[in-house]
Amino acid sequence: MFGSLTKPVRPSQLLDALATQWTRGDGSTGQVSTASDFSPLSGGEPWVLVVEDNVVNQRVAERLLQKEGCKVEIAGNGREALEKISTQSYEAVFRDCQMPVMDGLEAVAEIRRREAGTHSHTPVIAMTANAMRGDRETCLAAGMDDYIAKPLHSGELRRVLATIQRPVSQIDHTGSTSC
């Protein structure tokens, strides 16, 4: 069965639709690969944290990242995210900018404060529906490593994941604190 796309079609939407159509029932693919270029240097599934207060957006981000081979944890607000980061290392943190309890800019400032003087750096990627002129620059100036506008698309996630590989020495999945 064929799907449909609504114009204007983004390249990532077209790639996703083609990959879906070319995937056979046994899970193998034809000529197009949808696998991410992101392979954590620690081996195994990369751990990422999604910080999002909207349950629907949480599930969308979780599913897209899982399709890229990531193991995903969810935090519902900025303070909860900081608690998780203090007990678990992540290859990346994808976070909404406008959050209850602690917004994205406050949270990334705290993450960077905790990392000061260490050899640790957790990539933080802003996810926001407010794709206004200057938002990207504001997020980057605040200490975020990249910026993705909502709605999320797998092609954009793939691009970001491919740029955030970290050395093995900075990744610890034993639950010990590395910040």
- Domain ranges in the chain are 41-164
Mind listing the pLDDT tens digit for each residue in 105-122?
Answer: 899 999 999 999 888 899
The share of the chain scoring above pLDDT 90, in percent, equals 34
pTM of the model as a whole? 0.67
Dihedral over alpha carbons 178, 172, 88, 72 (to 10 degrees)? 140
| pLDDT reported for residue 75 | 94
pLDDT for res 151: 87
- pLDDT at residue 169 is higher than 50: no
Spatial separation of the C-alpha atoms in residues 142 and 136, rounded to whole Å: 10
Banded model confidence at residue 45, pLDDT cuts 50, 70, 90: confident
Q: Tell me the per-residue pLDDT of 67-106, one tens digit each, with 9 for 90 and over.
A: 988 999 999 999 999 999 999 989 999 999 888 888 888 9
Q: What fold characterizes domain 41-164?
A: Rossmann fold (3.40.50)
The b/e string for 96-131 (b: 16+ C-beta within 10 A; e otherwise) is bbebeebebbebbebbeebbeeeebebbbbbbbeee
pLDDT at 73 (0 to 100): 96
Residue 23 reports pLDDT greater than 60: no
pLDDT over 50 at 154, yes or no? yes
The pLDDT of residue 171 is above 70: no
